[in-house]
Chain A
Amino acid sequence: MSIYNEIGDRVNEHRLFALPPLIPPALGVTLRQIFVSAEVRSLFVGPWTTRAWEGRCGLLRADLDRFSQGGLIPVAARPFKKGKTAYMRQLSRWLEEVWEIRSRGVQPGIRVLGRFADTDVFIALTWHKRPDLLGPKSREWRDAIVGCKTEWRNLFPAYQPKSGDASSVYPTDYISANTYLV
């Protein structure tokens, strides 16, 4: 039994959903996979409360597809004080293995939190409007990280997320290729 079997089981149970990019990726690129929780998926299937929110969720989908399209993505470099605008970032308490994908450009900013099941396999578990998270050391941020970890444990109680090897070149343990550290 591997984490892939577990992912397959969760997909069968409709507790996790594959999110392949809406537009086919370029031929020959190294692909990455995203699986999303029902909570995250609801952003893309609606119903949406307003037209503006529907548009905001469309933009978020484009941002998530950037990951799965396999192209070059900016990743925040360690130490995590840097890379404040990077597309993807491992949250500062790095032993917790929680990552965020940032969707910026249109208000409100959205943060999708998740963990890597394996290299190039990201499990998007929760999402938050950035203004709701307040400052970087806020209780709201702490709760968001705990919520992400709880959701992981609910889905994969017997498996830990992918963790980096200190001897590897960051972030290749998580994303094998096409990253740019900022």
Chain B
Amino acid sequence: MSTQLTTYQPTPILSEVLDRGRVIPIGTLAYFRGRLSNRIHELVLSEFARQEHENKTSRAELARKIGRKPEQITRWLGSPGNWTLDTISDLLLGMGLELGLSIKSLFGEQTTNEMTIAVYSTANSTSVSVPWLKYDDLQNIYWDPQLYDLKSSFRRTTALTGIKQA
């Protein structure tokens, strides 16, 4: 079994957004446009999948309710490629829903005293929060995003824990 640990330090992409004197590169703007589009698509698709699983709706029924063809619904569920705000509204309304809105800071997802470590393994990949680990701690650690065997991954995790606790 192999495991990979990846820590998330403040990435360059977020540094670009933070720097008040700097124009955000077009690649970063496009990344976040795509990310928003994908997140909304995933949200709507998840809700549709849930309702479909509970036999509360189907593609044909949703299509009928919003005056579209079933194949159009299939295309929309496949990817957010040509979605507009109207598409989102129509799909959600067809399921008896509307979008709940909120705005949050990009930098508020992780406080300075909390890091997320993604733990990849062949058996059970997941992400965990490490509340005792600070970004500052990581600056002195060389963290190579490669595959490690499970034993060395645990050793490294323990080492990280030791740094903070020391």
A83 & B127 in contact (Cβ 8 Å cutoff) = no
Query: In chain B, what residue has the closest Cβ to A51?
Result: B26
Interface residues of A in 1-29 (CB under 8 A from B): 2, 4-5, 7-8, 11-12, 18, 20, 22-29
A144 lies within 8 A of chain B by Cβ? no
- Contact (A33, B120) CB under 8 Å given A58-B31, A72-B46: yes
Q: Contact mask B134-166 → A, CB, 8 Å, 1/0?
A: 000000000001110000000000000000000
Tally of chain A residues near chain B (CB < 8 A)? 58
Task: Identify A33's interface contact among B4, B77, B109, CB under 8 A.
Answer: B4
**5 A-B contacts (beta carbon < 8 Å):** A54-B27, A66-B38, A71-B42, A72-B45, A73-B42
Q: Which residues of B contact A58 (CB under 8 A)?
A: 25-31, 34
A87 & B6 in contact (Cβ 8 Å cutoff) = no
B8 lies within 8 A of chain A by Cβ? yes
A26 & B2 in contact (Cβ 8 Å cutoff) = no
Min CB–CB distance A108 → chain B (angstroms): 12
Q: CA–CA, A63 to B81, complex, Å?
A: 11
Min CB–CB distance B18 → chain A (angstroms): 14
Q: Which residues of A contact B145 (CB under 8 A)?
A: 18, 20
Q: How many A-B residue pairs have CB under 8 A?
A: 148
Residues of B within 8 A of A (CB): 2, 4, 6, 8, 11, 13, 25-35, 37-39, 42, 45-46, 49, 74-75, 77-82, 109-110, 116, 118-120, 122, 125-129, 145-147
- Contact (A55, B146) CB under 8 Å given A28-B126, A32-B125, A61-B31: no
Q: Which residues of B contact A5 (CB under 8 A)?
A: 2, 147
Q: CA–CA, A172 to B28, complex, Å?
A: 33
Q: CA–CA, A152 to B6, complex, Å?
A: 25
- Contact (A18, B31) CB under 8 Å given A11-B146, A118-B122: no
Q: Which residues of A contact B27 (CB under 8 A)?
A: 46, 48, 54-55, 57-58, 61
Task: Identify B79's interface contact among A52, A61, A62, A104, CB under 8 A.
Answer: A104
Q: CA–CA, A57 to B122, complex, Å?
A: 29
Q: CA–CA, A121 to B125, complex, Å?
A: 11
Q: Which residues of B contact A25 (CB under 8 A)?
A: 116, 118, 127
Q: CA–CA, A155 to B80, complex, Å?
A: 33
A100 lies within 8 A of chain B by Cβ? no
Min CB–CB distance A86 → chain B (angstroms): 4
Query: In chain A, what residue has the closest Cβ to B34?
Result: A62
B29 & A55 in contact (Cβ 8 Å cutoff) = yes
A25, A52, A58 pick with most chain B CB within 10 angstroms:
A58
Min CB–CB distance A52 → chain B (angstroms): 8
- Contact (A85, B74) CB under 8 Å given A18-B6, A24-B118: yes
- Contact (A29, B127) CB under 8 Å given A62-B30, A63-B34, A72-B45: yes
- Contact (A62, B4) CB under 8 Å given A30-B125, A86-B79: no
A29 & B126 in contact (Cβ 8 Å cutoff) = yes
B27, B119, B145 pick with most chain A CB within 10 angstroms:
B27
- Contact (A74, B126) CB under 8 Å given A58-B31, A62-B32: no
